[in-house]
Copies of this chain bind each other. A is one copy, B any other.
Amino acid sequence: MFDFKVLSRSTNTAGRVGRLSTPHGILSTPQFMPVGTLGTVKGITATQLKDTNAQMILANTFHLHLQPGEAIIKESGGLHSFMSWDQPILTDSGGYQVFSLGKLNKIDDFGVSFKSPRDGSHIELTPEKAIQIQMDLGADVVMAFDQCPPYPASKVEVEEACKRTHLWLERCVATHSKEDQALFGIVQGGCFLDLREESARRVASFHLPGIAIGGVSVGEPSDQIHKIVRHVAPLLPNEVPRYLMGIGTIREMAVAVANGVDFFDCVLPTRLGRHGTALVRDERWNLRNACFRNDYQPLDTTCVCETCTNYNRAYLHHLIRNDELLGLTLLSLHNLSHLIRFSRAMAVAIEDDCFSEDFAPWQKSSIAHYTW
């Protein structure tokens, strides 16, 4: 039911083109996953989301457990049916959110108890419960419950989080029993490369159908992200998909793909869209800026998304200036399309062996310009 094939490899990088088969269809890698925290990619219908060429999307177990609760979603026929998305879905485990959003009461090897940021109620999450919730939600890919240390954190703290993450992974594996769902493990270790190595070795030893690099993009500078990715990705099993969590910027995606990472998720394209910012090439444009007031070109003249095909910059400026809902939707649609387009350009460049870490296909001087 799950199958990952590497279809093509780059010779001068570790970049690869792959295909992950899931019960709800294909994930072509390299790929970017839009984030639908509460079972909705904010402001975007399922039909529009398909038009961005999105394949797999991510939803958050932590948020969905708090509202509407996994019982409602299970009764509704599972998350695919609930949110009307018939393509692959991945749920994270809630680990990251427990530590970033919850008011922690207690954490020990058994699990975590915290106050709901929603209504202050007492909530307990354990590896067993996180997996049970994810089985109820019914995504195609589910993530192990991990402890994600903040940045910065001392080596002792990170080491403890790693040990707990590995202990919990064993219990996640023991609990998970849904055949049409793949459980991925998560490598932690913060910015400490020896801890990352040990974590990669331990997580790989479970021989799961996929593996993720977690605990990045938690506040560390981007050269740290690059250092971690360059060090960890080559240590991961070759035959399964590799997922770098929480990354969604052009440069970090290219570096990660060049080091053998297969897919990504990030709230950035939709969050930026809701704040009036558009992704164009590797730039961020604030559409509130007066320079767009009478600019009648498409947002990105090279993009074929719904936004760029139908509307001009002056109109988007007008919508954003007037806090019109449509502006947020149109910019989010473009930003998602942009990162997915970049993913597909990387795939073509890998197939044609003109991919590199500094991949920037919009540049006319790039040998990979034709992929854009």
Please list the residues of chain A having a beta carbon within 8 angstroms of any beta carbon in chain B: 38-48, 67-68, 72, 75-77, 82-84, 293-294, 296, 306, 310-312, 314-315, 317-319, 321-322, 324-326, 328-330
Contacts and interface: CB of A to CB of B under 8 A. Distances in A.
Nearest to A332: B325
B42 A318 contact: no
Contacts of A318: 38-39, 67-68, 72
Contacts of A314: 68, 72, 76, 82
A303 to B, nearest CB: 15
Residue among A312, A314, A319, A325 having the largest count of chain B Cβ atoms under 10 Å: A325
Given A82-B315, A294-B72, A42 B310 contact: no
11 contacts: A38-B324, A39-B315, A39-B318, A40-B326, A42-B324, A43-B326, A45-B306, A67-B318, A76-B296, A77-B296, A84-B310
A40 B41 CA distance: 21
A42 B294 contact: no
A322 B67 contact: yes
A325 B326 contact: no
A157 B38 CA distance: 54
A40 B328 CA distance: 12
Given A45-B329, A76-B312, A38 B322 contact: yes
A257 to B, nearest CB: 31
B315 A76 contact: yes
A368 to B, nearest CB: 32
B75 A296 contact: yes
- Name the 3 nearest CB pairs between A and B, nearest first: A43-B325, A84-B310, A68-B318
Nearest to A324: B40
A81 to B, nearest CB: 8
Contacts of A315: 39, 76, 82-84
A67 B40 CA distance: 31
B84 A325 contact: no
